[in-house]
Amino acid sequence: MNKYVTRSDIDILNTRIEISQKVKYLGRTFADDGSLTEEVARRIRAGWAAFNAIRRELLQSPQKTRIRLLTTTVIPAMTYGCETWTSKEADTKRLQRAVSNMFEIAGCDPPDMEKQVLRRKLKWAGHVSRMKYDRWAKIVSEWDPRGSARPRGRPPKRWADDIKDSIKIFIHNEALRGNLGHGRRRIGILEARRAWSTVGRDRVTWRSLVRSIQDGN
C-alpha cells in the first residue's frame, strides 16, 4: 500500500498478511512511499558487482573494448527496470557518481546517466502507446484517478513528466533545424503537442525523439 491508502489489516484464510515498508518484486524494490532511494542503492551495488566481475579483463583490454564491456555489463545492471522509474535529481546524481567512478578506474569517459535512463523510458513509453487498450501496462500508464485532488504546493513528479519535457525540447530543437515545415513530418512533429501516448503511435516521430536523446541533443 502507498501512503495515500488507509492502513488496515488484511486476513486471508485466517492468516494475517504482513505489512512491509518495502518489498522486492521482479528484481526491483518497491517502497510504500514511492521513493527510489533503496532501489537506486541496489542498482549501484549491482553495477559495482558487474564491474568487479570483469575488472581484471577490463583493465587489460584496449580502451574501445573497455567501453564496450562497461556499456554491455555495468550500465544494464544499473538501469534495470528504470523504464518505470519516477526518479528525482538526487537519484540520478547518485547513479552518475557511481558510474563516473567506475569509468574513471577504467580510464574511460562516463556516459550521461540522466540520458541513459530517459532514453530507456522513452523506448518503453513508445511500446506502451502502441499497445492495445486492454493491456495492463497501458491502462495504468494512462489512468487518471478521479475524485482525488493533488496535494497543495509543488506537486510530486509523475512518471510521464520526463517524457513530456523531452517532447517539448524535441519540438524546440526540430524548429531550430527547420524540420517543422516538411509535409507529413510537420504533422508528425506537431502531434507532439498532444498527449505523449498519441505521439508514440507515430513510430517515425518517436524514434527521432529517442535518437535525439541518444545523440545528446
Q: What are 88-109's pLDDT values in tens digits?
A: 889 999 999 999 999 999 999 9
The predicted pLDDT at position 190 comes to 47
Question: What cell does 41 get?
Answer: 542503492
**What would the pLDDT profile of 33-46 be if each residue is shown by its tens digit?**
778 899 999 999 99
The predicted pLDDT at position 20 comes to 83
Please check the confidence at residue 128 and state whether its pLDDT lies above 50.
yes
Question: What cell does 53 get?
Answer: 566481475
The predicted pLDDT at position 11 comes to 92
**Distance in angstroms (rounded) separating the CA atoms of residues 62 and 118:** 29
The predicted pLDDT at position 177 comes to 64
pLDDT tier for residue 151 given thresholds of 50, 70 and 90: low
Helix (H, G, I), strand (E, B) or coil at 123: helix
**Distance in angstroms (rounded) separating the CA atoms of residues 93 and 86:** 14
Q: Is the model more confident about 154 or about 145?
A: 154
Which of 197, 192, 160 is CA-nearest to residue 173? 192
Which of 121, 120, 105 is CA-nearest to residue 70? 105
Whole-Å CA distances, 169 to 117, 136, 212: 17, 29, 10
Q: In the chain, pLDDT over 70 holds for what percent of residues?
A: 82
> What is the pTM for the complete model shown?
0.78
**Distance in angstroms (rounded) separating the CA atoms of residues 25 and 81:** 11
